[in-house]
Amino acid sequence: MVRLILDSSTGSYPVVIGSNLHRELRNAITRLDPTGAAIVTDTNVRPWALKVAKAIKRAGLKTSLLVLPAGERSKSLAQLERVLTFLERQKVDRGGCVIAVGGGTVGDVAGLAAAMWQRGVRLVAVPTTLLAMVDSSIGGKAGVNGRRSKNAIGAFWQPSAVISDLAAIETLPPASYRDAFAEVVKYAVAMDRGLFDLLQRNTPRLADRDPAMLERIVFRCVAAKALVVAKDERDRGPRAILNYGHTAGHALEAATGFRVSHGRAVAFGMRVAARIAVAMDLCSKRLVESQDELLASFGLPDRPPSADAKKVLAAIALDKKARRGRVAWVMPRRIGHAEPGHAVPGALVRRVVTRSLA
Ligand SMILES: NC(=O)c1ccc[n+]([C@@H]2O[C@H](COP(=O)([O-])OP(=O)(O)OC[C@H]3O[C@@H](n4cnc5c(N)ncnc54)[C@H](O)[C@@H]3O)[C@@H](O)[C@H]2O)c1
Ligand SMILES: [Zn+2]
């Protein structure tokens, strides 16, 4: 088990990573001493949430459970309203807390409800997907989707504790597990050479979901993200490094109507970004090769994305227009170090994107 203490503008909080952490969860809640706890989860994670509820009840706390439909569609204003109404009905007061048990979907919608209810009650994150453990539970971004916009309605709301129990990973569907490695490789290439080496040396153990190895990986990812968030909690500058692979990645998602998953899209985006970086003489060809090999060893992509290059380029152009012409690409310089804020000539983007989809 490892424990980190992260600092934020609203105070510091523990992140605990390990297996079978019911006691740690109970201790964390006891320390917060809330007047009541409202657990939010989804239909697939319900059995896990019931275990969490049992563990907390043993601390003598009143708990209640709300189960949302599983899937991204729950990141909606309608489900947000359901959570808020639930908190109202349960009479959660300003001393209460919301416990989000689930992946990034539950974390984002429950997090936003916690930020809004009573103008902010404490949030405890119990992430159950690898993506939520390495990414969405850290950094304090909460939100839901608008009718046509992703994550556009949201707030910054830091958790009071994050308990990442790796035992939950056992039941995770293979595609969700695989996709999370796109973000893991992102941290490695953009920020942490040691993580890159660790991943290279341990792909078989990770394919087996070895909890001890996962503990080390999640720890390094959390530390990498925390470092950036500490410098730029509100995402006004340095935090942009976390967008490595996301410029072309988001464009691929948009161009395919979100048929390509986020992880596969980010893997594609990193391949594009690294090739652009080589063409601009910013990094070596060797980086592209090692990154490709590592992504492939995690099954990313499992097959080349089938998408219309023109549509992907149009989506990149749209993003550029929305940012008044300033698309800032995150470019890798060497393994473990990337730089945000690079302008890339349109012709080069066209060439690399077209080739990467051929
Ligand atoms: N707030 C942030 O900083 C941030 C960062 C990255 C991503 N996100 C958001 O996170 C969301 C994606 O998160 P996700 O990939 O965790 O998706 P998710 O929460 O939708 O979970 C994926 C699926 O796995 C199921 N599941 C969850 N845990 C399980 C378990 N232990 N065993 C079996 N099934 C389980 C869920 O019910 C769901 O069907 C997106 O909405 C994205 O925008 C937010
Ligand atoms: Zn991402």
Q: What is the mean pLDDT of residues 2-29?
A: 96
Ligand nearest to the CA of 263: 2
Q: Using CA positions, which residue lies closest to atom 3 of ligand 1?
A: 136
pLDDT at 148: 84
**Considering the chain, what percentage of its residues have pLDDT values greater than 70?**
100
**Is the CA virtual torsion 28, 10, 135, 203 positive or negative?**
negative
Please state which CATH class domain 2-171 belongs to.
Answer: alpha beta
Instruction: Evaluate: CB of 70 within 6 angstroms of ligand 1.
Output: yes
Q: What is the mean pLDDT of residues 63-69?
A: 97
Instruction: Evaluate: CB of 225 within 6 angstroms of ligand 1.
Output: no
224: CA distance to ligand 2 center in Å? 14
The ranges assigned to domains in the chain are 2-171, 174-356
Question: How many CA atoms, within 13 angstroms, populate the side-chain half-sphere of residue 349?
Answer: 22
Instruction: Evaluate: CB of 131 within 6 angstroms of ligand 1.
Output: yes
Residue 320, pLDDT > 80, answer no
pLDDT at 97: 98
pLDDT at 13: 97
pLDDT at 58: 86
Q: Using CA positions, which residue lies closest to atom 9 of ligand 1?
A: 104
pLDDT at 326: 73
Does 2-171 match 174-356 in CATH topology?
Answer: no
Over the chain, what is the mean pLDDT?
95
pLDDT at 115: 98
pLDDT at 327: 74
122: left (phi over 0), alpha (psi -120 to 50) or beta: beta
Instruction: Evaluate: CB of 103 within 6 angstroms of ligand 1.
Output: yes
72: CA distance to ligand 1 center in Å? 8
Confidence of residue 92 (pLDDT cuts 50, 70, 90): very high
Ligand nearest to the CA of 133: 1
Q: What is the mean pLDDT of residues 112-116?
A: 98
> Which residues, 6+ apart, have CB-to-CB distance to 157 below 8 Å?
111, 112, 114, 115, 120, 123, 140, 142
138: CA distance to ligand 2 center in Å? 13
pLDDT at 20: 95
Ligand nearest to the CA of 151: 1
pLDDT at 301: 83
Q: Using CA positions, which residue lies closest to atom 5 of ligand 1?
A: 136
Ligand nearest to the CA of 71: 1
**Considering the chain, what percentage of its residues have pLDDT values greater than 90?**
91
pLDDT at 323: 76
Residue 287, pLDDT > 90, answer yes
Instruction: Evaluate: CB of 317 within 6 angstroms of ligand 1.
Output: no
Give the right CATH number for 174-356 from 1.10.10.410, 1.20.120.1760, 3.40.190.10, 1.20.1090.10: 1.20.1090.10
Contact criterion met (CB below 8 Å) for 146 and 152: yes
47: CA distance to ligand 2 center in Å? 27
Residue 318, pLDDT > 90, answer no
Instruction: Evaluate: CB of 79 within 6 angstroms of ligand 1.
Output: no
Residue 117, pLDDT > 90, answer yes
Confidence of residue 152 (pLDDT cuts 50, 70, 90): very high
pLDDT at 54: 94
176: CA distance to ligand 1 center in Å? 8
Pocket test for ligand 1, best of 8, 45, 129 (most atoms within 8 A of CB): 129
262: CA distance to ligand 2 center in Å? 7
